[in-house]
């Protein structure tokens, strides 16, 4: 939510800031703005150019020849104050000597604002952010770093900020508490951003700023210290992602590119953890045999798509390890009193590794058990630094707001975790393990086959795009797949979609069925397939249209369905990884037919760093 960039060096900062923002637009796109020390007019003033709306609006507002060696930028996902010009960042203090961008929420902004208003400060926006600029002004004499720290000591909430001062023209001040910030190191130049893709074109040497840290970034140096002035030495990490991985590569949308990348992403996940000799190798996880054997329960906690992956993981862990698993929305888990104790394993799943609720759930779990594990995509993100163990999903950068390859790689990671735990606990024998590993290694090819149905799914989407309500059904480990399919459709096409376990139909939802509400049903081969068929017949008897996800060549399933979305056959426990493919493609093509802005759906942002 909200993206921040910064640049200091010898190059023109303006195009670098704009380009960085374009890579962060997935974090919010209500407004965009930059601030820089203006060289072009010779004024040397701190200039702000900002606009309501997409980055493209801002780009066209920037006069030709604008140049600067230092600047910060922001793309907004509105929390306090409507999307508008005045509420767009960056924000000035009263003197226009300090300018600031912010990602997060300042919880005590009302009281701070009242105090500042009483002290004579004049506000121009409705944002919570502006209070920080004025607070810094209060403390600013000659050291902007001191003033920022003093101001932040009064602020409660979650934030990442970047600030410039007209009087200290050789530095950017950045700080974080609860929202991500990374520093990209260059030669004679340095970069700042909310996320890695924004700097990938220039550097892969990254420093991750930690909670309650402030960085003073000049063109040649980065000094990090805590809010309490303790100096921090931190080595940069060289990350393996490159710029092309975060580029659209000729595809119409990131979402389509990322859907089609799934076989490769999955291959990457599997090859990281399953060695050719059949052993597992985990770089950041060392759950020993004793711990695994003594585990009482597993808690899986996440939000959105990551939660749906966790729901599938429950079936696998219970099946392969014989440990009971509880799955919880992070936003619910953190506000109840979960009965989690020292012999429980808390698994948090997050693509970004920054989701506020998931992070809070991790912290709560860590107070009660030392066995915490993050399944995360983004390298070095907060969850990976706070969880005791990490399994990276290695999906590569996911830019499309609707999560796709992150989901399938989370599934793969959960499956690998289940098999590994099963092995450690002795609930899976060597022979069975080898078999599972072989089946797992066949998956990328099967995914490829599932994706080859793309054109047929595009056709089906045309027939379905005119409906406004959808029901998604699945049973057993395909129920979470139905949930995920419905979520994909909702978020990118703005159509109403509900998902249920098919057995629940008769307990209420069947009342919705008529010829205007199509059902998308997962009906691939499984021990509950016949039950699924019965549920589908019940829908058809009520004139409901059914698009079935079925195995290629399943003639019985074919006969029942109005539309068939085919996937290849494999072992039942692996089918969720294939069944999600037609769901993703269907949602994508329906949204495209409806002319929706697929990579930037309204009201959403990819990384939800506020509650
Ligand atoms: C949906 C989607 C979201 C995220 C959720 C959690 O397509 O992307 O539901 O899954 O916001 O995000 P992470 O996984 O980053 O914690």
Distance CA 184, CA 195 (A): 10
pLDDT tens digits, 13-53: 999 999 999 999 888 888 999 999 988 776 778 999 999 99
b/e 95-123 (16+ beta carbons within 10 angstroms → b): eebbbbbbbbbbeebeebbeebeeeebeb
Tell me how far the alpha carbon of residue 355 lies from the centroid of ligand 1, in angstroms.
Answer: 8
> Which residue among 258, 300, 306 is best mutated to probe the pocket of ligand 1, counting the most ligand atoms within 8 A of its Cβ?
306
Q: Calculate helix-pair angle for 454-464, 575-593, nearest 10 degrees.
A: 50
Q: What is the mean pLDDT of residues 2-19?
A: 96
Q: Per residue in 329-371, pLDDT tens?
A: 999 999 998 999 999 999 999 999 999 999 999 999 999 999 9
**pLDDT at residue 587 tops 80:** yes
Residue 607 CA, closest ligand 1 atom number: 15
Cα of 353 from ligand 1 centre, angstroms? 10
Q: Which atom of ligand 1 is nearest to the CA of 410?
A: 14
User: What domains appear along the chain, each with residue ranges and CATH number?
Assistant: 3-246 (3.60.20.10), 254-448 (3.40.50.10490), 454-593 (3.40.50.10490)
Q: Which atom of ligand 1 is nearest to the CA of 401?
A: 8
User: Ligand 1: which residue has its CA nearest to atom 16?
Assistant: 350
Strand-pair category, 205-208 with 182-185: antiparallel
Residue 241's pLDDT band (cuts 50, 70, 90)? confident
Ligand 1 atom, smallest distance to 352 CA: 15
Give 310 Cα–ligand 1 centroid separation in angstroms: 12
Please give all residues whose beta carbon lies within 6 A of any atom in ligand 1, as ranges.
Answer: 303-306, 350-352, 355, 358, 402-403, 487, 491, 607-608
Indicate whether 552 pLDDT > 90: yes
C-alpha Rg value of the chain to the nearest Å: 25
Q: What band does 607 get if pLDDT is binned at 50, 70 and 90?
A: confident
Ligand 1 midpoint to CA 325 (Å): 21
- Fill in the DSSP letter of residue 280: B
User: What does the pLDDT look like over 122-151, one tens digit per residue?
Assistant: 999 999 999 999 999 999 999 999 999 999
Q: How far is the CA of 169 from the centre of ligand 1 (A)?
A: 39
Of 180, 194, 195, 305, the one to substitute when testing ligand 1's pocket (max ligand atoms within 8 A of C-beta) is 305
Which residues, 6 or more positions from 277, have their beta carbon under 8 angstroms from its beta carbon? none
- The secondary structure of 36-102 as a DSSP string is EE--TTS---EEEEEEES-HHHHHHHSPTT---SEEEEEEE--SSS-SSTTTSSPEE-TTSSEEEEE
- pLDDT of 39 reads 80
Report the catalytic residues.
2, 606
Q: Please give the pLDDT value at position 603.
A: 83
Residue 42 is predicted with a pLDDT of: 66
- Which residue's CA is the closest to the ligand 1 atom numbered 11? 304
């Amino acid at each position: 939510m909200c993206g921040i960039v910064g640049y200091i060096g010898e190059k023109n900062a303006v195009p670098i800031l704009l380009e960085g923002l374009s890579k962060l637009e997935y974090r919010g796109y209500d407004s965009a703005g930059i601030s820089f020390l203006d060289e072009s007019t010779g004024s040397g003033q701190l200039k702000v150019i900002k606009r309501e709306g997409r980055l493209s609006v801002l780009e066209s507002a920037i006069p030709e020849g604008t140049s600067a060696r230092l600047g910060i930028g922001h793309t907004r996902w509105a929390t306090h104050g409507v999307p508008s010009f005045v509420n767009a960042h960056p924000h000035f203090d009263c003197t226009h000597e300090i300018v600031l961008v912010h990602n997060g929420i300042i919880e005590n902004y009302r009281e701070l604002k009242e105090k500042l208003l009483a002290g004579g400060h004049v506000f121009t926006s409705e944002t919570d952010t502006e209070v920080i600029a004025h607070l810094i002004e209060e403390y600013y004499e000659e050291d902007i770093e001191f003033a920022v720290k003093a101001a932040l000591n009064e602020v409660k909430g979650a934030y990442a900020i970047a600030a410039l001062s007209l009087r200290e023209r050789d530095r950017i001040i950045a700080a974080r508490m609860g929202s991500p910030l990374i520093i990209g190191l260059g030669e004679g130049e340095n970069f700042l951003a909310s996320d890695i893709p924004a700097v990938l074109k220039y550097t892969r040497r990254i420093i991750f700023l930690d909670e309650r840290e402030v960085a003073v970034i000049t063109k040649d140096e980065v000094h990090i210290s805590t809010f309490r002035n303790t100096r921090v030495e931190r080595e940069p990490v060289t990350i393996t992602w490159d710029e092309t991985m975060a580029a659209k590569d000729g595809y119409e949308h990131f979402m389509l590119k990322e859907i089609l990348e799934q076989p490769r992403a999955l291959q990457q996940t599997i090859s990281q953890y399953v060695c050719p000799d059949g052993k597992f190798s985990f770089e950041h996880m060392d759950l020993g045999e004793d711990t695994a054997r003594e585990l009482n329960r597993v808690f899986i906690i996440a939000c959105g798509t990551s939660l749906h992956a966790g729901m599938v993981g429950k079936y696998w862990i219970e099946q392969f390890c014989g440990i009971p698993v509880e799955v919880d929305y992070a936003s619910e888990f953190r506000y109840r009193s979960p009965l989690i104790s020292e012999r429980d394993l808390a698994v948090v799943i997050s693509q970004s590794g920054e989701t506020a609720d998931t992070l809070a759930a991790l912290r709560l779990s860590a107070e009660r058990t030392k066995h915490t594990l993050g399944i995360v995509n983004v390298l070095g993100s907060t969850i990976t630094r706070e969880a005791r163990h990490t399994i990276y999903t290695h999906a590569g950068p996911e830019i499309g707001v609707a999560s796709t390859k992150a989901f399938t790689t989370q599934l793969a990671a959960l499956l690998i975790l289940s098999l590994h735990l099963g092995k450690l606990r002795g609930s899976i024998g060597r022979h069975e393990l080898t078999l599972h590993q072989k089946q797992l290694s066949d998956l990328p090819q099967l995914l490829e086959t599932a994706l080859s149905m793309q054109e047929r799914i595009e056709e089906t989407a045309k027939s379905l795009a005119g409906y406004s309500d959808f029901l998604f059904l699945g049973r057993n480990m395909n129920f979470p797949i139905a949930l995920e399919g419905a979520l994909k459709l909702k978020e990118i096409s703005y159509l109403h979609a509900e998902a249920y376990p098919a057995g629940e139909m008769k307990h209420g939802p069947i009342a919705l069925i008529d010829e205007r509400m199509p059902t998308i049903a997962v009906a691939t081969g499984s021990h509950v397939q016949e039950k699924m068929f019965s549920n589908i017949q019940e829908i058809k008897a009520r004139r409901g249209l059914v698009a079935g996800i079925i195995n290629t060549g399943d003639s019985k399933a074919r006969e029942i369905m109005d539309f068939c979305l085919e996937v290849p056959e494999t072992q039942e426990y692996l089918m969720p990884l294939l069944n999600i493919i037609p769901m993703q493609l269907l949602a994508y093509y329906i949204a495209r037919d409806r002319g929706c802005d697929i990579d930037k759906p309204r009201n959403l942002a990819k990384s939800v760093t506020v509650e």
